Amino acid sequence: MSHSSSPFGKVAVLMGGRSAEREISLMSGQGVLKALLASGVNAHAFDPAEKDLNELKREGFTTCFIALHGRYGEDGTVQGALELQGIPYTGSGVMASSIAMDKTMTKRVWLAEGLPTPAYVLVQRDALQQVAMPDLVRTLGLPMIVKPAREGSSIGVTKVLRIEDLPAALTAAAACDADILCEQCIVGDEVTCPVLGEGEKAHALPVIRIVAPEGNYDYQNKYFTDDTQYLVPSGLPLAEEKAIEALVVKAYQVLGCRGWGRIDVMIDAQTRQPYLLEINTSPGMTGHSLVPMSAKAAGVSYEDLCCQLLAAASLDYVQEVLG
């Protein structure tokens, strides 16, 4: 379809920003910008680290495509700033973005709704000295995953195999966040599944199975190597794939997400029970990214995906016309 008379007005692609994931966000943003321009959208790059968000209104932007990752982008702060200006934006609103950014809050909502997620213990950075390592191991077992509660892209994450390695793992996570999430390690298949839409209309895209070298799906393997395999179709039994799709849609809905998101899931090798790990409400859109890969498997091109997401841009609070 031609967007020569683009219904979107003047679009800002928000990219870069101030989080630890700035570099990835710039890659995502450039991809989205190129796709929107190719589709005839009047789109422009906008980096909140270089320009105040209040400039958006002054420069006449009517919609924002959020391609920011991590803090000050995926966590409800930018969403709130855009709500105040009345500029519709892609992805989840203030509350859903804010909860989803915090892995512990996300797990609390999922557990309250009876959805499966690995057992966890929250450790405060300023109470690190008081942590009883043997108790932690008794509660969660080994191996154990230790990660910052609010950082993405596998930054500060350690898979702890021996109790001796726990202190270093806690210190590494504490360097990124005051809240440290210690989590039961589910051993088995790692999958991820995008969800598009809102409320009753939310639907899953095809499940991607991730096969990483020695099971180490870290920052390096995520963005800069080609050793990690992404299998779509996933090769899982159809019933299992359908059950995962139903689970992630429910996980997305109970958090009140909209627009799009991507949920990471571990399947226990023994029981085949899927466990929800976390949700990304502003997923990557780089050449290595998983949402475009899954969309492509469903017959949706990168350009069409970008335009669909932009078309769904909205506000939590529809501006009442005063006067």
Catalytic residue selected from 16, 17, 19, 21: 21
Look up 216 and say whether it is catalytic. no
Residue 90 DSSP label: S
Is 284 tagged catalytic?
yes
Catalytic residue among 22, 71, 209, 262: 262
**Active site annotation includes 261:** no
320 is catalytic: no
Contact, 26 vs 73, CB < 8 A? no
Active-site entry in 74, 75, 151, 264 = 264
Which listed residue (28, 39, 92, 280) is catalytic? Answer: 280
> How many C-alpha atoms does 204 have within 13 Å on its Cβ side?
19
Return the exposure string of 111-130: e unless at least 16 CB atoms fall within 10 Å of the residue's CB, then b.
eeeebbbbebbebebeeeee
Catalytic residue among 150, 284, 289, 302: 284
Phi, psi of 251 (to 5 degrees): -60, -35
Q: Which of 153, 221, 282, 294 is catalytic?
A: 153
Out of 278, 289, 294, 302, the active site residue is: 278
69 DSSP assignment: -
Do 286 and 30 contact (CB within 8 A), yes or no? no
278 assigned to active site: yes
89, 120, 217, 223: the catalytic one is 223
Q: What number of CA atoms fall less than 13 Å from residue 182's CA on the CB side?
A: 30
CA nearest neighbour of 117 among 70, 65, 183: 183
β-strand partners of 203: 196
Any idea which residues carry the catalytic annotation?
A: 21, 153, 223, 262, 264, 278, 280, 284
